[in-house]
Structure formats: structure tokens, C-alpha cells
Amino acid sequence: MAMGKYSRVDGRKSSKWCSTVTIVVFVGLCLVGVWMLMSSSGVAAPNSDVPAQEPKEVKQKVVEIFSKQYEDISGDLPEDTGKEEHPESSQDESTSNVEDSQNLLENVEGKNESEEDSKREAETDEDAKSEDNKSNSGDRESNSEGGESNSGDGDSNPSGEDKRMSETETSTNEQQESEDSPSESTSNPDGGESKTDVDSSVEEDQSKDQASNEGFPAGAQSEILKETTADSGAWSTQAAESQSEKESQKSPLSKDQNGYKWKLCNVTAGPDYIPCLDNVQVIKKLPSTNHYEHRERHCPDEAPTCLVPLPEGYKQPVRWPRSREQIWYSNVPHTKLADVKGHQNWVKVSGDHLTFPGGGTQFKHGALHYIDFIQKSLSKIAWGNRTRVILDVGCGVASFGGYLFDRDVLAMSLAPKDEHEAQVQFALERGIPAISAVMGTKRLPFPSKVFDVVHCARCRVPWHIEGGKLLLELNRVLRPGGYFVWSATPVYQKLPEDVGIWKAMSELTKSMCWELLVVNNDKLNQVGVAIYRKPMSNQCYEKREQNEPPLCKEDDDPDAVWNVQLQACMHKVPVGASDRGKQLPKPWPLRLGKPPYWLTSSQVGVYGKAAPEDFTADYEHWQRVVSTSYLNGLGIDWSSVRNVMDMRAVYGGFAAALRDLKVWVMNVVTIDSPDTLPLIYERGLFGIYHDWCESFSTYPRSYDLVHADHVFSNLKKRCKLEAVIAEVDRILRPEGKLIVRDSVETIAEVEKMAKSLQWKIRLTYSNDSEGLLCVQKTLWRPTEKETIFSAIA
């Protein structure tokens, strides 16, 4: 019994002990479970920060997607560019992948760091407030989340964990929005804007990660890329500035996009300001204006960095060819010329338009009749065949050049600024090439022996005075065998003054060995025309009894024109079989794509090859770039493009590639680069010498598109890049496009300035050290003004 009793007592003790052990084990398991939950949460937070751990992989993925999209519309690509095995699935997923990757990259790249820092601090504060609310709610899940945020690494760096989690949540939300709203990269047919969307977040790293080279020559074309190296070598020898001066020029470029303080130019000329032609203070001090010195270039000591204002009510220009007949009055609000020349059918005011009936002083009944009259007077002129590039002196509103497009002829039209109010501005607004220039004291900015015809219709130039100095300048630019077409009152009127001028001109042209081929009268317009031909040999010069006008000295370079004074002398005609000017160029359009006879294999081209091979490679390169990238890959509506500027033309390949479009291209050869401008003319194109450290001789808002191929990287060695961009802004129309091909560093600088100008970034692309940028000017103008005292009357 006793044993039984004790036995029952031990059983009860064992039962209590078991219960205790069970409770302890249960509590322990709960604690372990809580610890495991806390541990798993502590590990999850860093794992969720994908961008922080694998930025390179994400960037590369976005670059690959952009590469595939750009590959579809770019033909100037590397031949070894890899392609996807399953393009269909890639295209289906491209939208979400691009948006995902872009959002992730935005957290990694650190673009606009100040904005990101402030955004993250705000998110951290919001998270902290949220956690306080959760810890007080009594909800188990909320307490658990609060415990995770305060445990482990969270205690040592709470702000860092909260920041990463906030970024991940933001990226997730943005990803969901992108899935709900498809990216433009799949909906935009021309592809221009879509690439900008992707590239806006990866442009700074593409130069390192990108494996392909869209928009740039590769493979067999790779030699063209050497142009950068070739020109860099030449420019580096001219970089004589001190290191401190270079740094001072670069200092504005180190600012962020809000660091540029653009101001509006406060000048007397207002919206028509041309810095080198409106230097009022210098013009006032000129000792004489008898030779039109006041219409020549007088650039300010420092190129302005202010922006030219827009005319009130400015509108997008009327498109070609309708612009030849009418333009918006608000864009060029000048009526004086209509009052003075309206009766000659130059220009008339018609409501909110200015209309151009196509007439002129010598062709009141239309330019086309006058053009055909010249052809009938001398059939050998052969518009659009033998005659392709002409110079029209004293062009007025350039109706003669405007209607020569119908005959496949390019006319370089020039007239002095304000001699007839806004005449050159009218021409450019109409879509007709023209520059503000004058036959004054300096040589024209063109090479020698390049124009097929020089034309003057009542151009008011006294050719016969001072030994014929001005006519001798025409002789310089006129090619041997070329024609001078002169339509003026001395040709067909018998007033004493006209008779005297005709006699003086007859003596002068005879002493210059020009042959008078024909004098003909147009009964409809009641005017006459005299056509002369320049000799193709030196025989006449050698047989002259008197050396008047004298022949120029042997060491006088006829192609040296930048700020060179006029001389009353003549250059001999070339005599060597391979000399330029010895033969006439091939008929148009055969002359466009073939190297001229005087470009020999013994000469070294700009890019280091034999000159003819260099020329051909450049021609093929730009044909490829324009047809496969520019026409389709930039989202440009080319029907809205008429006036085009190539800031560094080299051989004129870019202009040649645009031949089939209804555009004209002003090819610029800078004064510090190889003198290839004669070759451009020989191709049947035209251009001008210029120094981009100074303003161009054109009105504001002249061009629809400006092309800059490796221009800015060279210019910033000796100019203030901010001033050059301000000049581009001046000559570019609102909604006009700027295409830049340059080093990645320069592309980044130009893009920052473009953003500060409120321009639209249409495309940024880079590969290795080379970049491509396409931006679009807007109507934005600053409100703060800067007075340019040199331009105040």
C-alpha cells in the first residue's frame, strides 16, 4: 500500500514536470520562430537592393535594349554587332525591361545628385513616421515589420536600410505604372523620341558599356573615324593658351544645367542682331564709309553669350515651296521694302503675310522668264548642266536664286545688311540661300576660280572705278571659262551717264581679256543683258600692250581671303594639266560623286589616305549615315527642313548625301582647317570660309538644321564654348534641330548647355570616346537682359 501510495505521488510529480517541460519547449520554439523571422527579414532587406549590388549588369541590359532598338534604324553600324536569337520575344518584353532598367539605373547613376539626396531624405522621414505609427498600432504584422527595421543591421544604419527599401518600393511602383502605360519606345514609329527616353538614364555610362557603334562608321568605314585624330593633331599645335586660360574657359561647363545664366541681348537691332555687322561703336569711329566699310564685318572683342529675342508673334515658317511666294509678316515685320520696291514686284503686304510675286528690278514679270531669257541669249550657259553654282551680287530678296532651283542651279546670293531693309532676311525666310556681305575693301569669303557664273542685275556696284578693283574681285572668284552676266541700264539705255559707264566697262573688260559674247534685249521686261567670258589661257594677258590691270605677284595666294584686302590685280590662269581651273568640271550631276581631275593620288587627304580614295570613302560614309541614321533614326520631319548649315563640311559629303531632299546646305570650312572649299564647289555645291569664334554673317533664325561634326571639341581650345552655342542658338530657328557628332566629353558639355537653354533632347548616344547628340530648340527666352554696349546706337 505504502509503495502504491508513493507510486501515485511520483506519477503526479512526473505529470507536472512534463507539463513544465512542454511549456518551456513551446516557449523556446516560439522564441526560435521569432528569431528566424527576424533573421530572414534582416537578410531580405539587402537582397532587395538589386541596383546597389548589380548596377553594371542592369546598365548593360538597358544598353543592349537601346542598341537593339537603334540597330533597327541605323545603317552605319558595326558589321559584327550581335543580334538576338529570339527577336520576337525580345521586342515583346522590351517595353517593360526598358522601363524597369531605366528606373533601376536612376537609383544607381546618381544623375542630378542634389535632387536624389533631397528625395531620399524625404523618403527616410516618411518611413520613420510610418514605423512609429506601426509600432503603436498593436497589430502583430506591424510589430514584426517594426522589429525588422530595428534589428540587426538596421540598428547600426537605419537610414541606409530605409533608403534602399524606399528606392525599391519606388522602383516597383514605377514599374507597375510602366506596365499599365506602354513606353514610347514601342509606339513611336520614327524612333527618335523613344531612344531619348531610354538614353536619358544611361548616357553617362554608355561610353563604357556600349558594345556597338550606331551612327558611326565601323568595319570598312572605320578609317573615317580617324578624322578626329587627324584634326586633333592639327589643332593641338595651335593650342598655345596657358593651362589656366583653358581652365577658365572650361569653368562654366563644370556647372550643372541650372548654373548657366543666359540673358536676353539688349541691343539696338533687337531681334535682328548680327554681332559682327551691328558693332555700332566701331562703325561710328570708321574714318571713311566710301567703300562700304560700314557694311563689312567688325566683330566685338568678346563674342556675346546673350540670346537674341524673338519678334513678337513669331510663328513657324511657311514650308517650302510655298515659302518662296509668301512668309509670315510677324517673322520679318518690315514693310519699308514693300513701299519702295512693291511696284517692281519684289514684295507686297497681304494681310498677315508678305508675298513675293517673283519679280525684281530687271524682271518685273517674273524671274523664270528672265532666267530663260538669259539661256536663250547664250545657250552655252546651260542652266543645271554646265552651269550649276553661281554668285548673285546685290541679290535683293533673291527671287533670281529662288527660281533657279527650278533649273537645278544653286545661287550664292549676297547683299549688304540694311541697304534695302531686311532683303537678305526676306530671302532666308523664304528658304533661299543668302548671306549679308558687301563688295567693299576686303576679298569675298570664297575661294578663287569656283563660280560657273557671276550675275549682277542692277546690283549698284561701280565696277569701273578705281582701276576696276571690284570687277577684278569677281574675276578672282569666277572660274576660267566662266560667264559674267550683267543686266544694268548702261547695257540698254543711252543716257549720258549710262553711255559713259558702258564705255568705261568696255575698256576695262577688254584689258582684263574678258570676251563680250552677246548683248541682248528683253522686250517683255524692257531690259538688256551683256554676257562676258573669262579666258581659259594666259595668251591674251601676255599679248597686252599695257600691263593694266597688272598681274598679281607670283607669291600672291588667290585663295587667301580671310580679312585680306582687295588688290587691283589679276591672277594668271592655271597652266598645268592637273591644276585646278585648267579644265571645266564635269556636267551636273556627274561632278557630285566623282573626285575631280586635279585631286591626284600623290596628294594626302584630310583623313590620311590618298586624296581620291579619301574623297570616295567620305562620300560613301555620309551616304550611309544620312540614309540609314539621320533620315530615319532621329525622328526629324524632313519636310519641315529647308535651310541647312554644316559647320564643318570637309569634302561636303553631308550636303551631297542630302541631294535628293528639298533642302540646300551652307557648307562652312573653318579658317583653321584644311582648305577643302574649292573641292566643295567643284562638286556642284557651295560654301563659305568662317571662324566660329565669331558670329556668322546671317540674320537670326536663318536655319532649320545645323550639323556640327567634330566642331565644338576643336573650338573650345581657343574659343568660349558658351559663346559658340549662343551663336548656334542665334542662327537656329525655334523648333530647329542641332545634330552634334563629337567626343563624349564635348557631347556632355553641349547637352548640359542645351538643357539650360530649355532645348529638347531628342537623342544622346555614345560609344567609346565618340558621341551623337540631337537637340531641338524651343521658343524659350530668358527674361533678364544683358546690354551689349558695342551694339547700342
Q: 355: pLDDT confidence band, cut at 50, 70 and 90?
A: very high
Quote the CA–CA distance of 372 and 624 in Å, as a whole number.
37
Instruction: Give dist(CA 373, CA 370) in Å, integer.
Output: 5
Q: How confident is the model at residue 214 (pLDDT cuts 50, 70, 90)?
A: very low
Dihedrals phi, psi of 52, to nearest 5 degrees? -65, -30
So what's the pLDDT on residue 195?
43
pLDDT at 290: 95
Assign 3-state DSSP to the chain and report helix, strand, coil percentages, each to 5. Answer: 45, 15, 40
Give just the sign of the alpha carbon dihedral 771, 776, 782, 788.
positive
Per the model's pLDDT, the better-predicted residue between 492 and 240 turns out to be: 492
The whole-angstrom separation of Cα 474 and Cα 447 is 11
Largest CA distance in the chain: 166
Q: How far apart are CA 620 and CA 258, in angstroms?
A: 41
Q: What is the pLDDT of residue 285?
A: 97
Q: Which amino acid is at 678?
A: P
The CATH homologous superfamily of the domain defined by 219-258+590-779: Vaccinia Virus protein VP39 (3.40.50.150)
Residue bearing the bigger pLDDT, 192 or 551: 551
Q: Is the pLDDT of residue 29 over 50?
A: yes
Query: In degrees rounded to 5, what are phi and psi of residue 486?
Result: -120, 115
CA–CA separation, 214 and 767 (whole Å): 8
Q: What is the reported pLDDT for 420?
A: 63
Whole-number average pLDDT of the chain: 78
- Of residues 625, 591, 360, 651, the one with CA closest to residue 488: 360
**Cα 28 to Cα 12: distance, rounded to the nearest angstrom:** 24
In terms of pLDDT, which residue wins out, 290 or 199? Answer: 290
Cβ-count burial of 485 within 10 angstroms (0-12 exposed, 13-18 middle, 19+ buried)?
buried
What is the pLDDT at residue 21? 61
**Which of 420-429, 566-575, 610-619, 770-779 has the lowest average pLDDT?**
420-429
Q: Is the pLDDT of residue 522 over 80?
A: yes
Average pLDDT over residues 388-404: 96
Q: In 3D, which of 391, 511, 514 has the Cα closest to residue 461?
A: 391
For the cut 90, the answer to whether the pLDDT of residue 543 exceeds it is: yes
The pLDDT value recorded for residue 72 is: 34
Q: Is the pTM of this model over 0.75?
A: no
* Cα 789–Cα 792–Cα 793 angle in degrees, nearest 5: 140
pLDDT at 92 over 60: no
Average of per-residue pLDDT across 122-130: 46
pLDDT band at 280 (very low <50, low <70, confident <90, very high): very high
* Nine cell digits for residue 118: 533631397
Pair 535, 529: CB distance under 8 Å:
no
Instruction: Given CATH 3.40.50.720, say whether it is the number of domain 364-543.
Output: no
Report the DSSP beta bridge partners of residue 442.
565
Helix residue ranges, H only, 225-366: 226-236, 243-250, 280-284, 336-341
State how far the Cα of 213 lies from the Cα of 209, in Å rounded to an integer: 11
Instruction: Give the cell for residue 577.
Output: 594639266
Poorest-pLDDT segment among 244-253, 489-498, 720-729, 748-757: 244-253
pLDDT at 123 over 50: no
Report the run of H or E that residue 452 belongs to, with start and end.
strand 451-457
Q: Please give the pLDDT value at position 258.
A: 52
Q: What are phi and psi of 480, to 5 degrees?
A: -55, 130
* CA within 13 Å, CB half, 413: 29
**Per-residue pLDDT band at 146 (split at 50, 70, 90):** very low
What DSSP element (H or E) covers 436? strand 434-436
Produce one character per residue of 722-756: b if its CB has 16 or more CB atoms within 10 Å, e if not.
Answer: bbbbbbbbbbbbbebbbbbbbbbebbbbbbbbbbb
Decide: residue 488, CB within 10 A, 0-12 exposed, 13-18 middle, 19+ buried: buried
CA angle centred on 558, ends 556 and 561, rounded to 5°:
105
Q: 109 by DSSP, 3-state: which?
A: helix
**Could you write out the three-class secondary structure of 147-193?**
HHHHCCHHHHCHHHHHHHHHHHHHHHHHHHHHHHCCCHHHHCCCCHH
What tens digit of pLDDT does each residue of 360-385 get?
778 888 899 999 999 999 999 999 99
Is 431 within 8 Å of 324 (Cβ atoms)?
yes
Rounded percentage of the chain residues whose pLDDT exceeds 90: 63
Residue 93 has φ and ψ, to the nearest 5°, of -95, -5
**Which of the four pLDDT bands, split at 50, 70 and 90, describes residue 28?**
confident
Give pLDDT tens digits for 171-182: 334 444 444 333
> Which of 28-42, 667-681, 694-708, 745-759 bottoms out in mean pLDDT, i.e. has the lowest?
28-42
Q: Is 326 helix (H, G, I), strand (E, B) or coil?
A: strand
Residue 88 predicted with pLDDT over 70: no
Q: How far apart are CA 631 and CA 523, in angstroms?
A: 47
Look at 19-33, 39-53, 406-420, 753-767 and tell me which has the smallest mean pLDDT.
Answer: 39-53
pLDDT at 80 over 70: no
- Which residues are 518's β-sheet partners? 531
Q: What is the pLDDT of residue 275?
A: 99
Q: What are the residue boundaries of the structural domains of the chain, listed by start?
A: 1-45, 49-191, 219-258+590-779, 364-543
Using pLDDT thresholds of 50, 70 and 90, give the confidence band for residue 288: very high
pLDDT band of 293, cuts 50, 70, 90: very high
What cell was used for 606? 584630310
CA dihedral over 189, 190, 194, 195, signed as positive or negative: positive
Confidence (pLDDT) at 259 = 73
Nearest CA to 129 out of 170, 166, 93, 171 is that of: 166
Please state which of the ranges 20-34, 556-570, 735-749 shows the lowest mean pLDDT: 20-34
Range in 142-146, 400-404, 436-440 with the lowest mean pLDDT: 142-146
- Between 59-68, 487-496, 649-658, the lowest mean confidence (pLDDT) is in 59-68
Say yes or no to pLDDT of 244 above 90. Answer: no
What is the predicted pLDDT for the residue at 20?
A: 65
Q: CA torsion angle for 221, 226, 227, 228 (degrees, to 10)?
A: 130
Same fold, 219-258+590-779 and 364-543: yes
Inform me whether the pLDDT recorded for 190 exceeds 50: no
User: What are the two backbone dihedrals, phi and then psi, of residue 372, each rounded to the nearest 5 degrees?
Assistant: -70, -30
Tens digits of per-residue pLDDT, 306-347?
A: 999 999 999 999 999 999 999 999 999 988 877 776 566 678
d(CA 167, CA 184): 24
Average pLDDT over residues 246-267: 62
What does R_g of the chain's alpha carbons equal in angstroms?
36
Q: What is the pLDDT of residue 39?
A: 52
Which pLDDT score is estimated for 19?
Answer: 61
